[in-house]
Amino acid sequence: MGGKSSRVYITGPGLQLIFCSKINDDGYLHGLRIWEDQVTGAVRIQASVHGGPMGRTPVWTAFITHNLVKDKWIRSEDSRTVVLRNVRPMVFMSGDDYNSPRNNYGHIIEFKSSSDATDFLNAIRRLATGAH
């Protein structure tokens, strides 16, 4: 699973996988995906357990549709780190098992590679302009 933002994956009726990659999330290896609902137009980011007996179990999801048209809600902090402002992840894990990474700006996403971070930002830009 690398930053596969150049392809569009159809995964079910009306649900489209726009992007997927690996991230380091609170010290765990997770898979990050961008999903778009083709019926409602809703866009969300989801982090899931990557591998093991809990593989693909959702850890958190955040709807970002409302942010796509805003300026300054997303920024690159370094070559592998993206920070999302005004995003409220819905966490599906116990607070004892998971702490959502944050800084003063917002929710932190740390990608395993700089190319995945770039592909993620490009996928968000395409969603914002409708060019996906």
Q: List the chain pLDDT tens, one digit each, 132 residues.
A: 555 444 455 566 789 999 999 999 989 999 999 999 999 999 999 999 998 888 778 999 999 999 999 989 999 999 999 999 999 999 998 777 788 899 999 999 999 999 999 999 999 999 999 866
- In a domain, residue 40? The reply is yes
- In a domain, residue 4? The reply is no
pTM of the full structure: 0.86
Tokens describing residue 65: 């549709």
Task: List the domain range (segments joined by +) for residue 95.
Answer: 9-129
- In a domain, residue 3? The reply is no
The position carrying tokens 């982090």 is: 47
